[in-house]
Amino acid sequence: MEHETTEKIKQFGKHYTKLDLMRHRLDFFGNESAAKGIDFVVKTASGKYHDISVQTINLERDRGIKIEKILYKRELRDNLWFALVLLMKDVEPALYMIPSKVFEKPDDYIFVDNEQGEKFSQFSNWEIKVFTKAIPKLQQYALKEMVIHFK
């Protein structure tokens, strides 16, 4: 049952992201390649491509999300973004476009790099924590603020 609920939440996050990308008139398409962890690709008017990985958090249950580094070959790129969708009962979902490069110098407050060392490197992840005091900082990553990077 829990897996089914988690899968439904992930699917809702993807649909919400898709709708918000459309609302901002961004050209995007589903990931046709075999790249794991990438849900959408946004194409800019200048012909640049941005990989979007949707990360959905049900704030009724969770306060953060861990992103497996192995899915992204441990690479932080200018064109890799984490679409963070926050869900809470009776509240409009919130979408933040987090550039993967924030993890080059994580603040260890909201953005955390959980490096596990060579022996357990498959468990290394990047973490985004969400709590009341984090919301104002996350606002700078709202899609309406970040849309300029996708035009």
Tell me the per-residue pLDDT of 34-82, one tens digit each, with 9 for 90 and over.
567 899 999 998 899 999 999 999 999 999 999 999 888 878 999 999 9
Mean model confidence pLDDT for the chain:
91
Angle at CA 65, nearest 5°, toward 128 and 124? 85
Q: Find, among 128, 72, 67, the residue nearest to 96 by Cα.
A: 128
Q: Return the domain boundaries, the chain.
A: 2-64+73-104+136-150
Q: What does the pLDDT read at residue 35?
A: 65
Q: Of all residues in the chain, what percent carry a pLDDT higher than 90? A: 77
Whole-structure pTM over 0.95, yes or no?
no
Backbone angles phi, psi at 54, to 5 degrees: -85, 130
- Tell me, rounded to whole angstroms, the distance of Cα 62 from its chain centroid: 15
The verdict on domain 2-64+73-104+136-150 having CATH code 3.30.460 is: no
Q: What does the pLDDT read at residue 1?
A: 40
